[in-house]
Chain A
Protein backbone atom coordinates (compact mmCIF):
# COMPACT_ATOMS: atom_id res chain seq x y z
CA UNK A 1 0.00 0.00 0.00
CA UNK A 2 1.30 3.43 -0.92
CA UNK A 3 1.80 5.90 1.91
CA UNK A 4 -0.26 8.50 0.05
CA UNK A 5 -3.13 7.76 -2.32
CA UNK A 6 -4.57 10.29 -4.74
CA UNK A 7 -7.11 9.83 -7.51
CA UNK A 8 -5.28 10.71 -10.73
CA UNK A 9 -8.40 11.88 -12.55
CA UNK A 10 -8.46 13.45 -15.05
CA UNK A 11 -11.04 15.88 -13.78
CA UNK A 12 -12.83 18.22 -16.18
CA UNK A 13 -15.18 20.92 -14.90
CA UNK A 14 -16.90 24.02 -16.34
CA UNK A 15 -15.63 27.44 -15.37
CA UNK A 16 -17.14 28.61 -12.07
CA UNK A 17 -17.56 25.09 -10.64
CA UNK A 18 -16.40 24.06 -7.19
CA UNK A 19 -13.60 21.52 -7.39
CA UNK A 20 -12.77 19.00 -4.68
CA UNK A 21 -9.43 17.21 -4.72
CA UNK A 22 -8.58 14.55 -2.15
CA UNK A 23 -5.82 12.40 -0.75
CA UNK A 24 -5.73 9.65 1.82
CA UNK A 25 -2.69 8.49 3.72
CA UNK A 26 -1.68 5.67 6.02
CA UNK A 27 1.13 7.08 8.18
CA UNK A 28 -0.22 8.67 11.36
CA UNK A 29 3.15 10.43 11.87
CA UNK A 30 2.41 12.93 9.10
CA UNK A 31 1.94 16.38 10.58
CA UNK A 32 2.40 18.85 7.73
CA UNK A 33 0.17 18.67 4.69
CA UNK A 34 0.71 20.51 1.47
CA UNK A 35 -0.83 21.03 -1.92
CA UNK A 36 1.37 21.73 -4.91
CA UNK A 37 0.21 22.91 -8.32
CA UNK A 38 2.10 21.90 -11.42
CA UNK A 39 1.48 23.51 -14.78
CA UNK A 40 2.43 21.64 -17.91
CA UNK A 41 6.20 21.48 -18.48
CA UNK A 42 6.93 23.23 -15.18
CA UNK A 43 8.05 22.12 -11.74
CA UNK A 44 5.50 21.94 -8.90
CA UNK A 45 4.86 25.08 -6.84
CA UNK A 46 3.51 25.18 -3.30
CA UNK A 47 -0.11 26.29 -3.22
CA UNK A 48 -1.04 25.78 0.42
CA UNK A 49 0.11 24.03 3.53
CA UNK A 50 -1.58 23.17 6.81
CA UNK A 51 -0.34 21.82 10.08
CA UNK A 52 -2.29 19.05 11.76
CA UNK A 53 -6.08 18.99 11.52
CA UNK A 54 -8.33 21.85 10.49
CA UNK A 55 -9.08 24.20 7.63
CA UNK A 56 -7.06 26.91 5.98
CA UNK A 57 -8.40 29.35 3.45
CA UNK A 58 -6.52 31.44 0.90
CA UNK A 59 -8.68 33.29 -1.57
CA UNK A 60 -10.57 30.76 -3.67
CA UNK A 61 -8.64 27.84 -2.16
CA UNK A 62 -9.44 25.95 1.04
CA UNK A 63 -7.29 23.14 2.41
CA UNK A 64 -8.84 20.74 4.87
CA UNK A 65 -7.16 18.08 6.99
CA UNK A 66 -8.93 15.35 8.94
CA UNK A 67 -6.26 13.42 10.79
CA UNK A 68 -8.73 11.05 12.42
CA UNK A 69 -9.74 9.81 8.97
CA UNK A 70 -6.27 10.32 7.44
CA UNK A 71 -7.89 12.38 4.70
CA UNK A 72 -6.99 15.74 3.20
CA UNK A 73 -8.85 17.88 0.68
CA UNK A 74 -8.35 20.93 -1.45
CA UNK A 75 -11.41 22.91 -2.53
CA UNK A 76 -11.30 25.43 -5.35
CA UNK A 77 -14.23 27.84 -5.55
CA UNK A 78 -15.22 29.68 -8.71
CA UNK A 79 -12.73 27.67 -10.74
CA UNK A 80 -10.97 29.45 -13.59
CA UNK A 81 -9.31 28.15 -16.77
CA UNK A 82 -6.01 29.28 -15.23
CA UNK A 83 -6.54 26.66 -12.51
CA UNK A 84 -6.03 23.94 -15.13
CA UNK A 85 -3.01 22.04 -13.85
CA UNK A 86 -1.99 18.92 -11.99
CA UNK A 87 -2.47 19.14 -8.23
CA UNK A 88 -0.26 17.07 -5.97
CA UNK A 89 -0.76 16.51 -2.28
CA UNK A 90 2.33 16.09 -0.13
CA UNK A 91 2.98 15.39 3.51
CA UNK A 92 5.85 15.14 5.93
CA UNK A 93 6.28 13.93 9.51
CA UNK A 94 7.00 16.44 12.28
CA UNK A 95 10.67 15.54 12.10
CA UNK A 96 12.04 14.27 8.86
CA UNK A 97 13.39 15.33 5.51
CA UNK A 98 11.44 13.16 3.14
CA UNK A 99 8.24 14.44 1.58
CA UNK A 100 5.61 11.92 0.51
CA UNK A 101 3.69 12.89 -2.60
CA UNK A 102 0.44 11.73 -4.11
CA UNK A 103 0.46 10.83 -7.79
CA UNK A 104 -1.33 14.05 -8.72
CA UNK A 105 -4.79 14.87 -10.09
CA UNK A 106 -5.04 16.46 -13.52
CA UNK A 107 -7.65 19.23 -13.59
CA UNK A 108 -9.03 21.00 -16.65
CA UNK A 109 -11.40 23.96 -16.25
CA UNK A 110 -13.36 24.53 -19.42
CA UNK A 111 -14.27 28.14 -20.30
Chain B
Protein backbone atom coordinates (compact mmCIF):
# COMPACT_ATOMS: atom_id res chain seq x y z
CA UNK B 1 0.00 0.00 0.00
CA UNK B 2 1.17 3.48 -0.83
CA UNK B 3 1.71 5.56 2.21
CA UNK B 4 1.91 9.32 2.33
CA UNK B 5 2.68 10.74 5.73
CA UNK B 6 2.63 14.31 6.93
CA UNK B 7 4.68 15.49 9.86
CA UNK B 8 1.83 16.90 11.94
CA UNK B 9 -1.94 16.48 12.08
CA UNK B 10 -2.51 19.75 13.92
CA UNK B 11 -0.26 22.78 14.16
CA UNK B 12 -0.72 26.17 15.80
CA UNK B 13 1.67 28.97 14.86
CA UNK B 14 1.88 32.69 15.41
CA UNK B 15 1.75 35.38 12.76
CA UNK B 16 5.19 35.98 11.28
CA UNK B 17 6.63 32.58 12.20
CA UNK B 18 8.35 30.44 9.61
CA UNK B 19 6.47 27.17 9.23
CA UNK B 20 7.65 23.89 7.75
CA UNK B 21 5.23 21.19 6.67
CA UNK B 22 6.85 17.89 5.77
CA UNK B 23 5.52 15.17 3.52
CA UNK B 24 7.04 11.75 2.89
CA UNK B 25 5.92 9.05 0.46
CA UNK B 26 7.21 5.51 0.35
CA UNK B 27 6.44 4.43 -3.23
CA UNK B 28 9.18 6.14 -5.23
CA UNK B 29 6.68 8.42 -6.96
CA UNK B 30 8.03 11.14 -9.22
CA UNK B 31 5.25 13.65 -8.70
CA UNK B 32 4.37 15.27 -5.40
CA UNK B 33 1.83 17.98 -4.67
CA UNK B 34 0.84 20.43 -1.97
CA UNK B 35 -2.77 21.61 -1.72
CA UNK B 36 -4.74 23.64 0.70
CA UNK B 37 -8.38 22.85 1.32
CA UNK B 38 -10.86 25.46 2.48
CA UNK B 39 -14.65 25.28 2.84
CA UNK B 40 -16.38 26.37 -0.34
CA UNK B 41 -13.09 26.61 -2.24
CA UNK B 42 -12.16 22.96 -2.43
CA UNK B 43 -8.64 21.78 -3.13
CA UNK B 44 -6.31 24.43 -4.49
CA UNK B 45 -2.87 23.55 -5.77
CA UNK B 46 -0.02 25.47 -4.18
CA UNK B 47 3.02 23.80 -5.75
CA UNK B 48 3.94 20.55 -7.33
CA UNK B 49 7.20 18.79 -8.07
CA UNK B 50 7.78 16.34 -10.91
CA UNK B 51 11.29 15.36 -9.87
CA UNK B 52 13.97 16.01 -7.30
CA UNK B 53 14.84 19.71 -7.13
CA UNK B 54 12.13 20.48 -9.72
CA UNK B 55 9.07 22.48 -8.85
CA UNK B 56 6.21 24.26 -10.54
CA UNK B 57 3.84 26.86 -9.18
CA UNK B 58 0.25 25.91 -8.83
CA UNK B 59 -2.72 28.22 -8.62
CA UNK B 60 -1.91 29.91 -5.30
CA UNK B 61 1.87 29.94 -4.69
CA UNK B 62 2.04 33.39 -3.08
CA UNK B 63 3.39 33.25 0.46
CA UNK B 64 4.67 29.69 0.06
CA UNK B 65 7.83 27.99 -1.10
CA UNK B 66 8.78 24.33 -1.45
CA UNK B 67 11.79 22.12 -1.29
CA UNK B 68 12.42 18.69 -2.74
CA UNK B 69 15.96 17.52 -2.03
CA UNK B 70 15.08 13.82 -1.98
CA UNK B 71 12.56 11.96 -4.07
CA UNK B 72 10.51 10.78 -1.14
CA UNK B 73 10.24 14.10 0.67
CA UNK B 74 8.46 17.31 -0.30
CA UNK B 75 8.39 20.23 2.10
CA UNK B 76 6.09 23.23 2.13
CA UNK B 77 7.43 26.39 3.72
CA UNK B 78 5.47 29.38 4.89
CA UNK B 79 8.12 32.07 5.07
CA UNK B 80 6.10 34.36 7.32
CA UNK B 81 2.83 32.84 8.41
CA UNK B 82 -0.29 34.97 8.20
CA UNK B 83 -3.81 34.38 9.51
CA UNK B 84 -5.16 33.88 5.98
CA UNK B 85 -2.94 30.81 5.72
CA UNK B 86 -5.01 29.05 8.36
CA UNK B 87 -6.20 26.00 6.46
CA UNK B 88 -6.04 22.25 5.94
CA UNK B 89 -2.88 21.35 4.00
CA UNK B 90 -2.84 18.14 2.01
CA UNK B 91 0.15 16.50 0.43
CA UNK B 92 -0.21 13.98 -2.40
CA UNK B 93 2.01 11.85 -4.57
CA UNK B 94 1.52 10.23 -7.93
CA UNK B 95 3.49 7.87 -10.12
CA UNK B 96 4.21 9.33 -13.57
CA UNK B 97 1.48 8.21 -15.95
CA UNK B 98 -0.82 7.04 -13.17
CA UNK B 99 -4.26 8.56 -12.76
CA UNK B 100 -4.39 8.35 -9.03
CA UNK B 101 -3.02 10.76 -6.50
CA UNK B 102 -2.39 9.33 -3.05
CA UNK B 103 -3.12 11.79 -0.30
CA UNK B 104 -1.72 12.14 3.16
CA UNK B 105 -4.02 12.65 6.17
CA UNK B 106 -3.60 16.42 6.11
CA UNK B 107 -2.23 19.02 8.49
CA UNK B 108 -4.68 21.46 10.01
CA UNK B 109 -2.70 24.66 10.48
CA UNK B 110 -3.98 27.50 12.59
CA UNK B 111 -2.15 30.83 12.49
CA UNK B 112 -3.04 33.17 15.34
Contact = CB atoms under 8 A, between A and B. Distances in A.
Contacts of A103: 40-42
A111 interface: no
Contacts of A90: 101
Nearest to B9: A41
B11 interface: no
Interface in A72-111: 88, 90, 92, 97-99, 101-104
* Interface hub of A42, A43, A98, A102 (most chain B Cβ within 10 A): A43
B100 A49 contact: yes
B27 interface: no
A32 B94 CA distance: 14
B43 interface: yes
B100 A46 contact: yes
B99 A49 contact: yes
A34 B106 contact: no
Contacts of A104: 42-43
Nearest to B44: A101
Given A101-B42, A103-B41, A42 B99 contact: no
* Interface hub of A6, A99, A104 (most chain B Cβ within 10 A): A99
A45 interface: yes
Given A8-B40, A102-B42, A34 B105 contact: no
Contacts of A43: 4, 90, 92, 103-106
Interface of B: 4, 31, 33, 40-43, 45, 48, 50, 56, 58, 90, 92, 94, 99-101, 103-106
Which 7 A-B pairs give the minimum distances between C-beta atoms?
Answer: A43-B103, A103-B42, A101-B43, A46-B100, A32-B99, A49-B99, A44-B103
Interface of A: 6, 8, 32, 34, 41-46, 49, 88, 90, 92, 97-99, 101-104
8 contacts: A34-B100, A43-B106, A44-B90, A88-B42, A97-B31, A97-B94, A98-B48, A101-B43
